[in-house]
């Protein structure tokens, strides 16, 4: 016998369909998408979408919540971002990281994010305070979103000899993945050794790799090809995410084509960071179109917000989608949809989840908008949003009405 749905979302629109639809949710899953008014039986609860778009929720594939809202904690007068970020994290306590990270994750939820991957500094400066703070924040927002935690040796491995044992401790204490940043080491040999050590730890703990690669807007940053080779050597195809990859954009086309092919062969997902456009001038978006044409999963991440590395930021996936749209030169028809996928289906696939939009049988992680389609949502952002996690309304944000 058909069950009575827990929730019926009435009169919404889904991408690719002209008609208004009703969306049934039961047991946290989407159980039906039907023409509006087709279902005679009432649901336990209803939500009126008012003709607005109902989309699969956003996925944030690259963010540093340990650093959230920490810009004001920097000692005055430090210009170098590395030194500034280091000075800030020296003062981290578990309690203050928990408070700031939870605040940022709630903001992300209000923006429509229901899954987030967090890179957290684990090194001799932050020790494990950032990790424990973010793990506690994850507990606080468990009903809002799924959070995966990457243990990230921001200060390097050769440069920071204490980092290795702290990473081991982090992986034993609840970190889900191992991170890295080879370019921070001095010279190619040390950078390659950094990559090998990251994979050693990944194998030891049987975890996936989420690695910062070639983050600066500098053609001499060229570790991505080595990471791809190491991925294949270790049999880690499909288990590696590389973020930034800015050097790729600056190589000449022949070199770039070779690296893109290597990344595709290694089945590495690439998270571009549109923020690099602001940070480093009109470059640094990592050739998303070439990567996608080669079959690489490409997503867009926020990276930083109001911290030692970046003073601004909104943690709004639509900001990233807009910046990627503008920066990547997406001009052909369907480009807005491509930009949308960078923060939904592709971002999920980059984290090992499923691609695609709202689907019957999948988790009801959804966002309701007050505009009827993707292009209007993007044009009128931020707009009002209602976020559902596994079928429950968990966050709302409302646009201010300005009186004439
Ligand atoms: Zn990052």
Domain residue ranges in the chain = 7-51+362-397, 58-350
State the pLDDT confidence band at 401, using cuts at 50, 70 and 90.
Answer: low
pLDDT, mean of residues 230-250? 95
**CATH top-level class of 58-350:** alpha beta
Distance from Cα 262 to the centre of ligand 1, integer Å = 22
Give 55-88 as a 3 state SS string.
Answer: EECEEEEEECHHHCCCHHHCCCCCCCHHHHHHHH
Distance from Cα 248 to the centre of ligand 1, integer Å = 17
Query: Which range, of 221-225, 239-243, 298-302, 321-325, averages the lowest pLDDT?
Result: 321-325
Distance from Cα 6 to the centre of ligand 1, integer Å = 39
Alpha helix stretches (DSSP H) within 284-373: 288-293, 317-327, 335-342, 345-350
pTM of the model: 0.95
Distance from Cα 388 to the centre of ligand 1, integer Å = 27
Q: For residue 45, give the 3-state DSSP assignment.
A: strand
Nearest-angstrom CA–CA distance, 404 and 390? 39
Distance from Cα 379 to the centre of ligand 1, integer Å = 27
The CATH homologous superfamily to which domain 7-51+362-397 belongs is Urease, subunit C, domain 1 (2.30.40.10)
Parallel/antiparallel/unpaired status of strands 54-56 and 366-369: antiparallel
Distance from Cα 14 to the centre of ligand 1, integer Å = 32
Distance from Cα 308 to the centre of ligand 1, integer Å = 12
Distance from Cα 234 to the centre of ligand 1, integer Å = 24
Distance from Cα 271 to the centre of ligand 1, integer Å = 10
Query: Which range, of 121-130, 218-227, 279-288, 335-344, averages the lowest pLDDT?
Result: 279-288
State the pLDDT confidence band at 279, using cuts at 50, 70 and 90.
Answer: low
Distance from Cα 253 to the centre of ligand 1, integer Å = 26
pLDDT, mean of residues 87-96? 96
Q: Per residue in 315-364, pLDDT tens?
A: 999 999 988 888 777 777 678 899 999 999 999 999 999 999 999 999 99
Question: Is pLDDT at 281 greater than 60 in this prediction?
Answer: no
**Bridge partners, 21 (sequence order):** 12, 35
Distance from Cα 182 to the centre of ligand 1, integer Å = 13
Predicted pLDDT of residue 170: 98
Question: Contact 294/261 with Cβ under 8 angstroms?
Answer: yes
Distance from Cα 102 to the centre of ligand 1, integer Å = 18
Question: Is pLDDT at 180 greater than 90 in this prediction?
Answer: yes
Question: Is pLDDT at 314 greater than 70 in this prediction?
Answer: yes
Distance from Cα 46 to the centre of ligand 1, integer Å = 40
Distance from Cα 203 to the centre of ligand 1, integer Å = 22
Q: Do 58-350 and 7-51+362-397 have the same topology in CATH?
A: no
Q: Per residue in 92-147, pLDDT tens?
A: 999 999 999 999 999 999 999 999 999 999 999 999 999 999 999 999 999 999 99
């Amino acid at each position: 016998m058909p069950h009575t749905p827990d929730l019926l979302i009435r009169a919404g629109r889904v991408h690719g369909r002209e008609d208004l639809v009703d969306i049934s949710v039961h047991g946290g899953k989407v159980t039906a998408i039907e023409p509006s008014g087709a279902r005679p039986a009432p649901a336990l609860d209803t939500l009126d979408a008012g003709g607005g778009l109902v989309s699969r929720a956003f996925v944030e594939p690259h963010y540093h919540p340990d650093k959230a809202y920490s810009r004001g904690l920097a000692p005055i007068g430090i210009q170098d971002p590395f030194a500034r970020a280091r000075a800030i994290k020296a003062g981290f306590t578990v309690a203050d990281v928990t408070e700031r990270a939870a605040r940022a994750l709630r903001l992300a939820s209000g923006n429509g994010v229901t899954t987030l991957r967090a890179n957290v500094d684990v090194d001799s400066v932050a020790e494990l305070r950032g990790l424990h703070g973010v793990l506690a924040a994850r507990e606080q927002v468990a009903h809002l979103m799924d959070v995966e935690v990457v243990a990230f040796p921001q200060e390097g491995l050769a440069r920071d000899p204490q980092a290795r044992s702290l990473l081991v401790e982090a992986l034993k204490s609840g970190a889900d993945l191992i991170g890295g940043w080879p370019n921070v080491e001095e010279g190619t040999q040390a950078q390659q050794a950094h990559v090998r050590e990251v994979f050693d730890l990944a194998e030891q703990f049987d975890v996936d790799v989420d690695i910062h690669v070639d983050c600066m807007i500098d053609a001499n940053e060229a570790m991505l090809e080595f990471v791809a080779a190491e991925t294949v050597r270790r049999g880690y195809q499909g288990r590696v995410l590389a973020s930034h990859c800015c050097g790729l954009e600056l190589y000449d086309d022949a070199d770039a084509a070779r690296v893109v092919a290597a990344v595709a062969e290694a089945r590495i997902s690439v998270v571009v960071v549109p923020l690099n456009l602001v940070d480093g001038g009109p470059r640094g978006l990592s050739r998303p179109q070439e990567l996608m044409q080669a079959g690489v999963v490409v997503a867009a991440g926020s990276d930083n917000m109001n911290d030692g590395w970046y003073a601004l930021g909104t943690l709004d996936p639509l900001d990233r989608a807009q910046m990627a749209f503008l920066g990547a030169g997406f001009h052909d028809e369907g480009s807005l949809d491509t930009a949308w996928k960078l923060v939904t289906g592709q971002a999920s696939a980059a984290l090992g989840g499923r691609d695609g939009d709202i689907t019957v049988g999948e988790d009801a992680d959804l966002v309701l908008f007050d505009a009827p389609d993707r292009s209007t949502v993007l044009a009128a952002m931020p707009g009002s949003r209602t976020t559902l996690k596994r079928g429950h309304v968990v966050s709302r944000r409302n646009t201010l009405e300005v009186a004439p």
